[in-house]
Chain A
Amino acid sequence: MADSSLANRLYRGEAGLNVVGRRKMWFTIAAIAVLISIGSFAINRFHLGIEFAGGTKLSVPASVGTIDEARAAVDRAVDALPADAEGVEPEVVTIQRVDSVDAGGGATYTARTSELTNEQALQVKQAVARDFGLAPDQISDSGVSAAWGESVTRQALIGLLVFIALVMVYLILRFEWRMAVAAVSSLLLDLVLTAGVYSLVGFEVTPSTVIGFLTILGFSLYDVVVVFDKVQENTRGITAGSSRTYSEAANLAVNQTIMRSINTGLVALLPVGGLLFIGAGLLGAGTLKDLGLVLFVGMGLGVFSSIVFATPVLAALKEREPRIKAHTQRVLARRASAARGEVPVKAGAAERTEDQVAAMAGAAPKVGSRPNAKRTSGSSTNRGGRSGGAGNRPSGKRR
């Protein structure tokens, strides 16, 4: 191979990164991260936005000026309040102009802030009234309940559980139960860690955040399914041969799809980055930032976990299966007796000799070669038979 820089080897799916072999390390990291997240849930909790926690509504007569002036005055007054015991600063969330449809009603500016105590509300009212030269009682305030009721959260959680149950069934039918378990546990890891980041950093949780969170759901599994698709392809009939263990084949699949995972991650994260940049950088706060942030964190984790978590979990589960276990022992035994010096047990494709690599390129069940012809559809079997002989045959022989 002429060019063997890492980028190029990645590009060709021959980087030989040993992901599956180091699974203990990944599991340890994941376990620690999960523990930290759960600890944070208990200690830090979440910083809930007013859509969940409720807030306070302040109404200022519209006669005071433009909506921007009103917003500025309310902002100033609210910002002047000290942070509460938990260090959360009261903030103005929205401000709207409200016009009565029925005749006679006046127009007001209505600001919604995070929940204020009576005392705080009074201070704000006085400050705003001073600004505009009004009497404090011309400004009214009232508590506002959560718009996002508990029932919404409850139904969303039920939906999540139903989805996970159904997706388990789907993955079991489509792949096998071990893959289903590995995929779903990777999904759960993503969700827990994303929530953990939110809890730890204290980002505000708004409906946009929850929506973004649910988007991760599909994305995370999507990624895992693509990798597993490859794993399944690489390991079909693996016990018939004795050249590679299941873990090695799975590792090869990870390597072969790693470029796709990185590409996918980048392509999906680019627009999210755009959202985040605009939302947080230019606007400071709001829907765009909320969504951008949760997606950025969640998708980033999703890409990562599909590579370093899902497949290792799968390999760990598979290596417990008696059939695979026996096969692994056989492969290792054969290697030991090959007496060709040190045989790298953990080897990926890159550590093989040159001709092995070349052979692998054609032989290892890369995309092109579907060792098991009956799975392919009619037309491709046909073509495979005529044209792809070279692609398919060696792998058959090697097994």
Chain B
Amino acid sequence: MAPPQGQQRPGRQLALLGALFVVLYLLAFFAFGASGSIRDRLHPNLGLDLVGGTQVTYVAQTEAGDAPPRTNLEEARGIIESRVNALGVSEAEVVIEGDRNIVVSKAGSSDDSLREVGAAAQMRFRKVLKASIDTGPVQAPPSAAPSGSSPAPGTSAAPNASAAPAATPAPSGGQGGGAPAPAPSAPAPSAPVSSAPAAAPSGTAAPDSGAPVTVDAVRKKVGEKAWDTASKLTEPANDPAQTPLLAPFGDLTPEEIHALTPEMQFNIPAITCDKLNNRPASAIDNEKIKVTACQPGVKFYLDVAKVVGTDIAGASPVLDQQQNQWVVSLDFTGPGQEKWTALTREAFTKQPADGCETAAQAVDPSAQYCLVAVVLDREVISAPEIQGVLTGDSQITGQFTPAQATDLANKLKFGALPLTFSVQNQETVTATLGTEQLEAGLIAAGIGMLLVAIYSFFYYRLLGSVIFSSLVLSALLTFGALVVLGRSIGFTLTLAGIAGFIVSLGVAADSFVIYFERLKDEIREGRSPRSAVERAWVRARRTIISANAITILAAVVLYIVSIGAVQGFAFALGLSTVLDLVVVFLFRHPVMTMFARTRAFLSPRVSGLGRVLKQRPADADVAPTSRVKEA
């Protein structure tokens, strides 16, 4: 008599739940870089308030050394906060301290991501005038290997997909690993390139306004001989005889290097990329001068910036399906697009005078057109060969990890900081709340669960065991999900989060009440338990779904719209609601269906439906026959 699906489903649903469980815990144990002991593997990411973390203090640098305007600090705080939050659901804290510091705190010990968030993120697009291989120690392979921003000769829309794969510089890809492909570690540059030495001359030579280090001081430090040799260079020194003469330049600090002209920075091999990349943060922000900058392994001498960060309207990380690599897709503003088109036209059009093709060939022997370097703050993140005039959106290609692509896109999207910051110090901080709060939270959870259990046993008798076991199940699923999410997307659990989950377990118990009250009504009407379970389920399901749909709606809206702690909350809310639905559908209903087949279900002592069952004879004249029919 019971409907067919009522008989088949319970097993299947429970099996599905079991499978879900196994997958979740397998993920928790083995996926996303799990390692170490069982304890380590089963450890959710705890928040700043519970386990402490790292904090980085950024100090605003101003020309005159006085405090920057408060509004700029506030704006910078907002941008940094957006960037930190975009790193994941980690509930970092960003505050202004005193009149010029911004302190960023984040749970855990991962610090590199925090060092990055204070970068000014000044984006500059500069044509590459000269290139040479860096002789310095090869850096750890950071993000970028250059490659094309997907030229699309002639076409206007969606240029990205078409020409990119084959044509974009394969050789630069080779550098992505960090080892410059052409000449890994030759002491003297093996493929120095320059041409038109006279074409990039003086007049652009004073980038160091306000810098504390004067040219004279540097000159004194390296000695006249070295200075004279260096001044005479018109291209990177490749004469072995000059190497010892120029050696003193290798001892210069990054600040002192900053005092040199860009030409000297480029031409002296002793000035390594390592040093160049440590110049003051805003060293090459000035878009009106030519500069020297590095991509791992390659030094570039770059033209003035013709397209800048403010010309970018939007940026997003995209997985390029054809090349199966992450790229950052750029969307220019109206005027920005015009500038970008003009710049690519300039690079695409042969201009023998500036020799930029030669520079391109130094990087990639097969290159035919000039390169345009994408410069972020002090470093070149990619320098694609321009293989057409670009009139649409463009991409920055590099061998990005998904995280790097996201990070870069966020920096571009949230805009450059209005101030330049330097990292003052990095510190570890202990938990603000301490272990007694965590313990108290767990005790509270225990008490809460106990109360709910007592109440449900009292009110629903043995059915309380169904409530209790699904609460335990919810808790286990939630815990597993937290471990997995903590490792995969950096979800961090604060004390507030723990409290939220405790509460949500209580709220989840509510869907039981809806169901059981329905069930009582059904039985009161004279249905057999088996059919009552099925019917009550159909009714209760509707109510539960609509009620949960609202909660999920709240979670999704808040997650999309809000930022910071509210976003973290929304995530937790959505997670717990979805898990509630999982438990309701895959555990409670099948268990109840199975339960209804047992005789104990009918016993008043056992099921908590007793009073209703006893009462039933009173209604019997109204609904007399149904039980017989159904049984």
Q: Which residues of A contact B (CB under 8 A)?
A: 1-2, 8, 11-13, 57, 67, 94-102, 105, 110, 142-149, 151-152, 155-156, 158-160, 162-163, 166-167, 170, 174, 207-208, 210-211, 214-215, 217-219, 221-222, 225-226, 229, 256-257, 259-260, 263-264, 266-275, 277-279, 282-283, 286-288, 291-292, 295, 358-359, 361-363, 366-370, 376-377, 379-380, 382-384, 386-391, 394
Q: Give complex CA distance A370, B97 in Å.
A: 64
Q: Give complex CA distance A133, B449 in Å.
A: 49
- A366: which of B78, B521, B564 is its contact (CB, 8 Å)? B521
Taking CB atoms, residues of chain A closer than 8 Å to B514 are 226, 260, 264
Binary contact track B452-467/A, C-beta < 8 Å → 1, others 0: 1001100100000000
- Chain B at the A interface: SS class: helix
CB <8 Å contact, B496 and A207 = yes
Q: Restricting to B326-367, which residues have a CB under 8 Å from any CB of A?
A: none
Q: Give complex CA distance A287, B313 in Å.
A: 40
Q: Give complex CA distance A183, B68 in Å.
A: 49
Please tell me which stretch of B209-217, B243-251, B500-508 contacts chain A, meaning at least 4 of its Cβ atoms lie within 8 angstroms of it.
Answer: B500-508
Top-3 shortest CB links A-B = A271-B448, A274-B448, A367-B521
Taking CB atoms, residues of chain B closer than 8 Å to A1 are 618
CB <8 Å contact, B557 and A102 = no
- Given A147-B93, A215-B500, decide whether A152 and B566 contact each other with a Cβ distance below 8 A: yes
Closest to A222 in B: B547
CB <8 Å contact, B553 and A98 = no
CB <8 Å contact, B561 and A158 = yes
CB <8 Å contact, B513 and A264 = yes
Binary contact track B466-477/A, C-beta < 8 Å → 1, others 0: 000000000000
Closest to A282 in B: B440
Asked whether any CB of chain A lies closer than 8 Å to the CB of B225, the reply is no
Asked whether any CB of chain A lies closer than 8 Å to the CB of B563, the reply is yes
Q: Give complex CA distance A376, B535 in Å.
A: 10
Q: Give complex CA distance A394, B618 in Å.
A: 16
Closest to A269 in B: B506
CB <8 Å contact, A57 and B496 = no
- Given A170-B553, A274-B444, decide whether A149 and B452 contact each other with a Cβ distance below 8 A: no
CB <8 Å contact, B52 and A96 = yes
Q: By CB atoms of chain A within 10 A, which of B499, B561, B622 has the most? A: B499
- A287: which of B49, B425, B509 is its contact (CB, 8 Å)? B49
Closest to A368 in B: B525
Closest to B56 in A: A101
Asked whether any CB of chain A lies closer than 8 Å to the CB of B55, the reply is yes
Q: Give complex CA distance A170, B444 in Å.
A: 36
CB <8 Å contact, B554 and A288 = no
A310 to chain B, nearest CB (A): 14
- Given A101-B111, A155-B562, decide whether A278 and B444 contact each other with a Cβ distance below 8 A: yes
A239 to chain B, nearest CB (A): 23
Closest to B522 in A: A368
Please tell me which stretch of B134-142, B390-398, B623-631 contacts chain A, meaning at least 4 of its Cβ atoms lie within 8 angstroms of it.
Answer: B623-631
CB <8 Å contact, B503 and A295 = yes
CB <8 Å contact, A151 and B499 = no
- B546: which of A97, A100, A174, A210 is its contact (CB, 8 Å)? A174
Asked whether any CB of chain A lies closer than 8 Å to the CB of B23, the reply is no
Closest to A151 in B: B78
CB <8 Å contact, B561 and A225 = no
Asked whether any CB of chain A lies closer than 8 Å to the CB of B319, the reply is no
Q: Give complex CA distance A222, B243 in Å.
A: 77
Closest to B431 in A: A96
Closest to B557 in A: A163
- A167: which of B531, B543, B553, B565 is its contact (CB, 8 Å)? B553
CB <8 Å contact, A268 and B510 = yes
Q: Give complex CA distance A151, B81 in Å.
A: 10
CB <8 Å contact, A151 and B563 = yes
Closest to B94 in A: A147
Taking CB atoms, residues of chain A closer than 8 Å to B124 are none
Q: Give complex CA distance A163, B548 in Å.
A: 14
CB <8 Å contact, A274 and B425 = no
A211 to chain B, nearest CB (A): 5
- Given A101-B426, A215-B573, A277-B444, decide whether A142 and B495 contact each other with a Cβ distance below 8 A: no
Taking CB atoms, residues of chain A closer than 8 Å to B623 are 362, 390-391
Closest to A270 in B: B451
Binary contact track B147-187/A, C-beta < 8 Å → 1, others 0: 00000000000000000000000000000000000000000
Taking CB atoms, residues of chain A closer than 8 Å to B317 are none
Q: Give complex CA distance A369, B543 in Å.
A: 15
Q: Give complex CA distance A155, B499 in Å.
A: 23
Closest to B430 in A: A97
- B3: which of A102, A211, A278, A379 is its contact (CB, 8 Å)? A379
Q: By CB atoms of chain A within 10 A, which of B78, B81, B452, B496 has the most? A: B496
CB <8 Å contact, B97 and A144 = yes
- B430: which of A67, A144, A147 is its contact (CB, 8 Å)? A67
CB <8 Å contact, B563 and A225 = no
Closest to B544 in A: A226
